[in-house]
Copies of this chain bind each other. A is one copy, B any other.
Amino acid sequence: FIKSLNLYSLSQVSAARQKHTLPDLMYDYGALQPHICAEIMQLHHSKHHATYVNNLNVTEEKYHEALAKGDVTAQVALQPALKFNGGGHINHTIFWSNLSPNGGGEPQGELMEAIKRDFGSFQSMKDRMSAATVAVQGSGWGWLGFNKDSGRLRIAACANQDPLQGTTGLIPLLGIDVWEHAYYLQYKNVRPDYVKAIWNVINWENVSDRLKAAHK
């Protein structure tokens, strides 16, 4: 009885204490040069993403309290902060894994076949995703996503930090961040140049892994 009580108490405490954390990059801040400069990577990861993580933890803490009281008004009031900071954490975590200093080139295997099937060619997919991404009005992301119901790849764009899966149901495979902080120090207002350059550092293995995982 005592053992099970202690285990129960411990799990309660550990459940309350699990916080989101900023993931480490698998490469140095300067590793994606010249396509994305080191200063951008450092600010983007250690300031912007870190802030989303911190604010997400604060928001979830407040949400926990509101939920415990059954306070619907407070829960609804917290929704924008949860979507913004939670989405920011989800999106950037995917993004860092989508990039690699060994990236670029073309995908292989199942992912390449799916791209050809759903877009006609790899170039066609790149062109359409680039156009949709550049066209985002204000802050947002371009996405290559997977529709589980149809089994098809889809291009989508989301505003601000709206997470792809939570808002559209599409499984995110590859995201391109076009908030100005993602490129402005290097590319200034010329967003198309940034979107063109980023294809040089796309980690197609990671995108493939995400497609495989989406099938399960």
| Interfacial residues, chain A to chain B (CB-CB below 8 A) | 43, 47-48, 51, 80, 84, 137-140, 159-161, 179-181, 184-185, 188-189
Contacts and interface: CB of A to CB of B under 8 A. Distances in A.
Given A138-B140, A138-B179, A139-B139, 16 more contacts: A43-B189, A47-B189, A48-B189, A51-B189, A80-B137, A84-B137, A137-B161, A138-B139, A138-B160, A138-B161, A139-B180, A180-B180, A180-B184, A181-B184, A181-B189, A184-B185
A179 B84 CA distance: 16
Nearest to A47: B189
Nearest to A48: B189
Contacts of A139: 138-139, 180
A138 B138 CA distance: 7
A173 to B, nearest CB: 23
